[in-house]
Amino acid sequence: MTIFKEMFIANVKELIRDRDGLFWLLAFPVIFIFIFGIVFSGTDESTFNIGIVTQSENIMIKQMIEGISDIQTFNVTQGTEEDELQALERGDRSLVLMVPDIDFNKVSQGQPIEIPVYYDASQSTTNQVLLPVIGQIFSQMEDMITGQVRIFEIQPQPMQTKELTDFDYILPGILAMSLMQLGLFGSLQFMNLREQKIIRGLGVTPLPRSTILSSEILLRVIVSLVQTFIIVAIGKLVFGVTIVGNILVLCGIVILGALTFTALGYMLIAFSKTSEAGRGIIQVVQFPMMFLSGTFFPITMMPKYIQPVVKAIPLTYLGDALRHVMVGATASYNLLTDLGILTAWLVVTLVLAIRFWKWE
């Protein structure tokens, strides 16, 4: 235990005395958050204008529309198809729902009722927030019609209790990205230890190699938590972001994310001979991941064949999991799905890293 402590202290000192490295470690998320903060708080949207087009007199549809209108963040207008779609084109609507009459014949035959939803695909907020919320509302309605169990009721979700800005949705993405960068590039330090033959030099001492590795990983996790603190603090103090979820859950997800990307980093460097090559591979991996994770560009804007890639990469799920705890129910996947897929990535990359890593 004292060996671990001494080794950990040595790693900490190496890190904090590398002024340049430390500067970038702390400055990167700060720069990032300000760039995106300024860009996205410009289009501050505290309410969404929702257009609903329907001829239905059905009581359930009426209740549903009422329910949607009750949501504070939503500003609902009803109108003709033509008017509403024009309003959408002008940017006066975030989204237009075409609600048909409920055809109970169709329902009894098990056929779906199609509800076209029109929206501006270039609006990332709409994609990330509105569509999942609308989806939830309809799935509740569906339960009510088919299951006949529940009374028509819309569960107020955490995000609906406060006014959210675009930046609220972007913040978890920034955090996810920082964690990715930190994990991936942080692994290079381990490569440096090998390249500078420090690991080899320690090889003549009784120090177990696993201690060199585990103390290094612990350090990365702690740095991740520090970065999280910086990002959340700036988000809160400067951009007035509210964190909905439990801070401990948030830390848990941050640690899982940091470990996953550190393991991915270790796997990538395990296949490279020099740290220059390692840096190259990491850049090749992290750059597309940044754009394909749906953090800054809506996934729906991307070509169909890209979608499977989007669904495979860990950054998508880390961002989604963080969105769960930080802004509430605006995420695309179930939290357990997010955590499960991240854990799977962690395990697989770790196994591969251990299998292919060469200590010398």
Exposure of 319 in the CB half-sphere (CA atoms within 13 A)? 28
Contact pattern from residue 145 through residue 184 relative to another protein, giving x for each residue in contact according to CB under 8 A and a dash for the rest: ----------------------------------------
**198 binding another protein? (CB under 8 A):** yes
Nearer to another protein, 163 or 195 (CB): 195
From candidates 47, 72, 196, 274, binder to another protein by CB under 8 A: 196
Nearer to another protein, 4 or 152 (CB): 4
Nearer to another protein, 194 or 324 (CB): 194
Closest approach of Cβ 89 to another protein, in Å? 59
Nearer to another protein, 198 or 277 (CB): 198
From candidates 116, 135, 201, 340, binder to another protein by CB under 8 A: 201
Nearer to another protein, 148 or 210 (CB): 210
Query: Is 269:193 a contact under the CB 8 Å cutoff?
Result: no
Q: Would residue 197 be called left, alpha or beta, if left means φ above 0 and alpha means ψ between -120 and 50 degrees? A: left
**106 binding another protein? (CB under 8 A):** no
Closest approach of Cβ 205 to another protein, in Å? 5
Stretch that binds another protein, among 7-15, 51-59, 102-110, 233-241 (CB under 8 A): 7-15
Nearer to another protein, 106 or 200 (CB): 200
| Distance separating alpha carbons of residues 83 and 236, to the nearest angstrom | 39
Rounded to the nearest 5°, which phi and psi values hold at 208?
-70, 145
From candidates 2, 105, 108, 109, binder to another protein by CB under 8 A: 2
**3 binding another protein? (CB under 8 A):** yes
From candidates 82, 205, 210, 336, binder to another protein by CB under 8 A: 205
Site for another protein in 11-70 (CB under 8 A): 13-14, 17-18
Q: What is the 3-state secondary structure (H, E, C) of the chain?
A: CHHHHHHHHHHHHHHHHCHHHHHHHHHHHHHHHHHHHHHHHCCCCCCEEEEEEECCCCHHHHHHHHHHHHCCCEEEEECCHHHHHHHHHHCCCCEEEEECCCCHHHHHCCCCCCCCEEECCCCHHHHHHHHHHHHHHHHHHHHHHHHCCCCCCCCCCHHHHCCCCHHHHHHHHHHHHHHHHHHHHHHHHHHHHHHCCHHHHHCCCCCCHHHHHHHHHHHHHHHHHHHHHHHHHHHHHCCCCCCCCCHHHHHHHHHHHHHHHHHHHHHHHHCCCCHHHHHHHHHHHHHHHHHHCCCCCCHHHCCHHHHHHHHHCHHHHHHHHHHHHHHCCCCCCCHHHHHHHHHHHHHHHHHHHHHHCCCC
Beta bridge partners of residue 224, listed in sequence order: none
Stretch that binds another protein, among 110-118, 193-201, 288-296, 300-308 (CB under 8 A): 193-201
Closest approach of Cβ 23 to another protein, in Å? 15
From candidates 151, 204, 237, 248, binder to another protein by CB under 8 A: 204
Stretch that binds another protein, among 90-98, 195-203, 233-241, 294-302 (CB under 8 A): 195-203
Determine whether 100 is exposed, middle or buried from the number of CB atoms within 10 Å of its CB (0-12, 13-18, 19+). Answer: middle
From candidates 62, 106, 150, 197, binder to another protein by CB under 8 A: 197
From candidates 87, 207, 255, 352, binder to another protein by CB under 8 A: 207
Stretch that binds another protein, among 74-82, 159-167, 205-213, 215-223 (CB under 8 A): 205-213
Total residues at interface with another protein (CB under 8 A)? 20
Question: Where do contacts with another protein occur on this chain (CB under 8 A)?
Answer: 2-3, 6-7, 9-10, 13-14, 17-18, 196-198, 200-201, 203-207
